[in-house]
Amino acid sequence: MSTDNFNQYTTEEFETATRAVLGDIKATVEPNFGELGIVCDRSDIVAICKIVKQDPGISMEYLRSISVVDWVEHMEVVYHLSSIKHMNRIVIKVVIPLEDLKIDSVITVWSGADWHEREGHDLFGVEFIGHPDMSPLILYEGFEGFPGRKSFEIPVQETFYGD
Amino acid sequence: METKATVIRDENSETAELRINMGPQHPATHGVFRMVLTLDGERVVTVEPHIGYLHRGSEKLTEGENFQQITTLFDRLDYISNFNNEWVYVRTVERAMEVEIPERAEFIRIILGELNRIASHFLFYGTYGLDIGAMNPVMIGFRERERIQALFEGVSGARMMHNYFRVGGVKEDLPDGFVPAINALLEHLKKGYEDAKNILTESEIFIERTAGIGALDAERTLDYGVTGPVLRAAGVDYDIRKADPYSMYSDLDFSVPLGSHGDCYDRYMVRMLEIEQSIKIIEQCIRRLPDGPIQGKVSRILRPPEGDFFVHGENPRGDLGVYLVSTGGTVRPYRLKIRGPSFSNLMALSSMMEGAYLADSTVILGSLDIVLGEVDR
């Protein structure tokens, strides 16, 4: 399968362009199955998101989704971004340690981050700092545990067969 | 007790904001969706959407199923466009495993996917008519949709939960007499489409109720991650079939209808024009439908390599994305995240509804055409 599905840039050009706008921020940039993968520290996430959204050459105006992946030893927050103008795609991955499940919210960059982050908080217990409302979204009030995690055991309901 | 009619007019009284609850059991919320509206007289001040009533944990369930079995879970996400859901899922696994799909299977998928789009838009047409108080559209909408569902039953054996797409192709070949049947169906659909158009498109009442209602400009629509007809109604030319072509779409001749105002009427118009385009696509596919195998070479047990893959496709409601994380060599996904178009579209609801009349709230919600099965997953 070809990875050259960027309209305006080739993969290499897009990679160089992205690396150039990131400047001093410490992050690894490499292609990943037709998308450009960025791995960065969690302290830089908002800064990177702002840059890739606002730079006219990258222009990631469309946040596709925010996923949380439970790797048991740590959690990973994955941001899928896309540009409508250039049809380039970026994946940002941030690793966060289990003992401190916190990451800055990107809701100031895209309003669409709202429910994705609340879902991540519901199912995985990741706290998105700066999000105005972290109340349960798809789980009910008072639900205990984080059902998205690998450690969550699905409660078995006893079957009642009648008397 | 003596009752006396008096007019209470207290100089010191103030108008108060009223909080009302709408849903989850409400016919106009299209499923189990609840919103708490704060009203100032007839105007909506704030909207608080509440979702999750249909949460079945589909993402978690996939972690316990084989890759072949997961198709059934995708049927139950957006239960109005089952084929399109299955399609995105099988494409994700196909991309991970780099499977070649025979041309006949691709054309079958496009035909069924586009028919499903028409069925979905007809359902929207019918229920949207009900939302604004017209009884006739729902008769036409459901009549035409039922013709399509009957054909689906002939192909897959089920009206809705098809489980027909397979990694590498489709389950079985089209039944005998499929081509004459679909040709007859298309003739019916064209007539039904004309009927549908004649009732609403130029109706003065309909235009009064929808034009200029719930408008959101392109930039803000995109900021919420809204996709599909709602985004295209705001004038943004983003259709994945054109922007990031998959399957055989780059070979087919069709156009992407765009709106300009981003209001409810444009959303309706975009969907109606998409029905025309889908019919055009299906006609081309039937003409070009080749003979040959319907299943590519795939191993019996699916074990995608290590890596993470994000594949998306254009559903009737927008951009459905599947994020698959595979640890390699396993028969089950490590993590599978579903990015539902209705989920993101619904986020924009508050900003569309604030400042609108209470009577327009169902019109605006209806114009988003949400399916709660996919919002809650």
Q: Using the Cα atoms of residue B253, residue B80, residue B193 and residue B154 in order, give the sign of their dihedral.
A: positive
**pLDDT tier, A77 (very low <50, low <70, confident <90, very high otherwise):** very high
Q: B14-45 pLDDT, tens per residue?
A: 777 888 888 787 777 777 888 899 988 888 88
In this prediction the ipTM stands at 0.84
Pick A137's closest partner by Cβ from B51, B308, B309.
Answer: B51
Q: Write out chain B residues lying below 8 Å of A136, CB-based.
A: 52
Interface membership of A108 toward B (CB under 8 Å): no
> CA nearest A1 in B: which residue?
B98
The B residues from 70 to 109 touching A (CB cutoff 8 Å) are 95, 98
Q: Write out chain A residues lying below 8 Å of B325, CB-based.
A: 69
The whole-number pLDDT of residue B135 equals: 86
Q: Write out chain A residues lying below 8 Å of B55, CB-based.
A: 138-139
* Domain residue ranges in chain A: 11-101
Interface membership of A4 toward B (CB under 8 Å): no
- What beta strand segments (E) does B18-94 contain? 18-22, 34-40, 43-50
Q: Write out chain A residues lying below 8 Å of B313, CB-based.
A: none
Does an H or E element contain A52, and which? helix A45-54
Q: Write out chain A residues lying below 8 Å of B334, CB-based.
A: 69
Q: B96-148 pLDDT, tens per residue?
A: 888 888 999 999 999 999 999 999 999 999 999 888 888 888 899 999 999 99
Residue B69 tokens read as 């079995």
**pLDDT tier, B218 (very low <50, low <70, confident <90, very high otherwise):** confident
Percent of chain B at pLDDT above 90? 28
Contact A112 B223 (CB under 8 A): yes
Interface membership of B340 toward A (CB under 8 Å): no
Residue B360 CA to residue B32 CA, distance in Å, equals 19
**How many CB atoms are closer than 10 A to CB B93?**
25
**How many CB atoms are closer than 10 A to CB A59?**
17
Interface membership of B243 toward A (CB under 8 Å): yes
Q: Write out chain B residues lying below 8 Å of A138, CB-based.
A: 51-52, 55, 376-377
Interface membership of B306 toward A (CB under 8 Å): no
Mutate to test the interface with B, among A49, A69, A81, A115 (most CBs of B within 10 A): A115
CATH topology of domain B58-367: Cytochrome-c3 Hydrogenase; chain B (1.10.645)
Mutate to test the interface with B, among A6, A77, A95, A111 (most CBs of B within 10 A): A111
| CATH pick for A11-101 out of 3.30.750.24, 3.50.50.60, 3.40.50.2300, 3.30.460.80 | 3.30.460.80
Contact B312 A64 (CB under 8 A): yes
If one compares B110 and A15, the residue with the highest pLDDT of the two is B110
Which region, left, alpha or beta, applies to residue A72 given φ > 0 means left and ψ of -120 to 50 means alpha? left
* Domain residue ranges in chain B: 3-50, 58-367
**pLDDT tier, A6 (very low <50, low <70, confident <90, very high otherwise):** very low
From B129, B155, B156, B154, select the one nearest B143 (Cα to Cα). Answer: B129
Judge if the upstream peptide bond of residue A136 is cis by omega within 30 degrees of 0: no
β-pair partners for A62? A82
Q: A90-125 pLDDT, tens per residue?
A: 889 999 998 888 898 998 888 888 899 999 898 898
